[in-house]
Amino acid sequence: MCEPEANSLSLEWNEYREHGTEFIKASTYPESIAKQLNIVYKMPQHKRLEMGRKAREWTIKNFGIQNVGKSIEEFIDKQQLVDWTKVLENSQDKKDPYCQIPNIVDDGDWILFMYHNILKMKNIDKNDSGYLYWMGELSKGAKKQDIENYFRNVALKENEQEKQIKFEDLLDKKDKGRVIYVMPESAGDIFLSTALFKSIKNRYPDYSLYVATKPQYKDILEGNPYVHRWIEYNPIMDNLIWLEGNSQHDGYFDIAYLPYTCTQRNLNYLHNGLDKVEFQLT
């Protein structure tokens, strides 16, 4: 410990991140350990005993089960009891504009999934007029992405009218400016993307950096010092105007990066392997 009251000897170390959890870990230099052990070895016995006694007292005072347990108990006792009836009431029939749609081959099942899971209309079946309408639109050549965006926009609007889920609530109102980096998947692409975050923060030091991915990749970003907040990816984020805004829509972010559109949506970088790099990379 580096606190004076701990009566310990500080060690030199290098910071690294534990993969998966992104915990900040310390890799201690062996030379520093050897140096401090040598100091203890040469220390007069009375001084070594005195340091050990004070260090033990400090450890018990700060980390003893009686003290830590008491602090946790006092915190829990001060909290109000949860009214579970209100929690259940607020969770019913809430639209889910950010619902992740699995890979559904059948068009009919795909439409029903959006009714049941995005709009929470569980009573819709294949005889419903809405279902039949969308099946007719698909047969006319309507794009599935446009239909999906429609369902999500309806869910967003209805939630906003009912003062439930608002996208604005996912953002920090204290932000001076916002940058969002969208990378839905995969684990490799998201992990490699983290190498860019320091550069983005250096370029826009006063802006908060948001990163949007699918939920299963959230852990990769946990503890990253450059990420202000993680947001669940929604296909509506494919629309740059929705993120940054235009004359008819204020937008939510000052700057939006969508690098996946050139790799995961529309492949445009192969060039038959004939690319010529102008910059010296070594």
Domains of the chain in start order, with CATH, are 4-77 (no CATH), 80-165 (no CATH), 168-262 (3.40.50)
Residue keyed to tokens 């990066």: 257
**175 vs 255: CA distance, rounded Å:** 13
- The secondary element (H helix, E strand) that includes residue 237 is none
Distance of alpha carbon 181 from alpha carbon 107, whole angstroms: 31
For residues 151 and 5, what is the distance between their CA atoms, to the nearest angstrom? 60
Give pLDDT tens digits for 33-77.
999 999 999 999 999 999 999 999 999 988 888 888 988 999 999
pLDDT tens digit sequence for 94-110: 788 988 899 999 999 99
pLDDT digits (tens, 9 = 90+) for 107-128: 999 999 999 999 999 889 999 9
* Better pLDDT: 18 or 194: 194
Whole-angstrom distance, CA of residue 32 vs CA of residue 159? 58
Kindly report whether the peptide bond that precedes residue 186 is cis, defined as omega within 30 degrees of 0: yes
* Amino acid of residue 12: E
- Is residue 227's pLDDT more than 70? yes
Helix (H, G, I), strand (E, B) or coil at 262: helix
Residue that is written with structure tokens 């916002």 in the block: 178
pLDDT at 273 over 80: no
- The pTM for the full model equals 0.45
- Based on the number of CB atoms within 10 Å of its own CB, is 114 exposed (0-12), middle (13-18) or buried (19 or more)? buried
